[in-house]
Amino acid sequence: MHEAMWDPPRYRRLDTIPYVPTENEIDQLIAGCSRKISVFLQLLKETGIRRGESWAIRWIDLDFQTHTVRITPEKRSQPRIFDLSNKLIAMLNNLPRNTETIFGDGAVLDLQRTFQRQRLAHKFGNLRLKRITFHTLHHWKATMLYHQTKDILYVMQVLGHRNINNTLIYIQLEEALFKQETDDFICKVASTAEDAKILIEAGYEYVCDFNVDKLFLKRQ
């Protein structure tokens, strides 16, 4: 208005490395929280979606026959469809269906305020639990996916990223978390489909076929 000169300040974002907890710590939180928050956390753990995407899920987005959920993206990410475990489907079935969305019509911040991390951290004697937020599970899922697949493009697809630069951080996270892992493996042989099912449920990964058998392994 007064034709004055102004040199606006320049903000430079300070990037930090996301915190990634162990799966056991996440499961402790899920087991110790209220019913709604437990379902919310389990959904974030299995899919890695953002908290806003999870909060926006409607009952009509769920397919209880195929155990899948359709995700409406946020932050210009891609729409996705995820498979859900039998455990999560059972937890969802126990929630009341008195609103269009699964978790209610309020704000996601209302749910976050009742996320009792401090109480559970002292209950389990693990102060690391206090560092876990809803978005922490997004980082955990992405890091585990890259560790399992070593396919950063697949991780990018699961997260719904449009820019690979947003996904590359999980290569660094995976290397930092698993750099002390040994190269000792346990190998198992499956001769039937039931044998293979048991091994997969126990955390073994398929390697290859040998004659009529299938070989599986996992780290010790």
The pLDDT tens digits of the residues spanning 157-181 come to 999 998 998 899 999 899 888 875 5
**How many domains does the chain fold into?**
2
Quickly list H helices, the chain. Answer: 23-32, 35-47, 51-55, 86-93, 108-113, 117-124, 134-149, 152-159, 169-178, 193-201
> 18 lies in a domain?
no
Residues 62 and 128 in one domain: yes
CA dihedral for 133, 113, 92, 61, sign (positive or negative): negative
Confidence band for 5, pLDDT divided at 50, 70 and 90 = confident
Residues 196 and 169 in one domain: no
Residues 138 and 156 in one domain: yes
Residues 191 and 147 in one domain: no
Residues 127 and 32 in one domain: yes
20, 170 in Cβ contact below 8 A? no
Residues 53 and 151 in one domain: yes
Residues 84 and 192 in one domain: no
> 17 lies in a domain?
no
pLDDT at position 219 is: 67
> 207 lies in a domain?
yes
Average pLDDT, integer, range 54-64 = 95
Residues 69 and 49 in one domain: yes
157, 79 in Cβ contact below 8 A? no
pLDDT tens-digit series, residues 64-119? 999 999 999 887 788 999 999 999 999 999 999 999 999 987 777 677 776 767 77
> 11 lies in a domain?
no
How far apart (Å, rounded) are the C-alpha atoms in residues 104 and 68?
20
Residues 95 and 194 in one domain: no
The closest alpha carbon to 17, from 171, 149, 155, belongs to 171
Residues 36 and 143 in one domain: yes
> 194 lies in a domain?
yes
Is the pLDDT at 45 greater than 60? The verdict is yes
Structural domain that includes position 211: 185-219
Residues 38 and 105 in one domain: yes
> 45 lies in a domain?
yes
> 169 lies in a domain?
yes
Residues 84 and 162 in one domain: yes
pLDDT at position 14 is: 66
pTM recorded for the entire structure = 0.73
The CA–CA distances, whole Å, from 200 to 102, 188, 196, 212 equal 31, 11, 6, 18
Mean pLDDT of the chain: 87
> 2 lies in a domain?
no
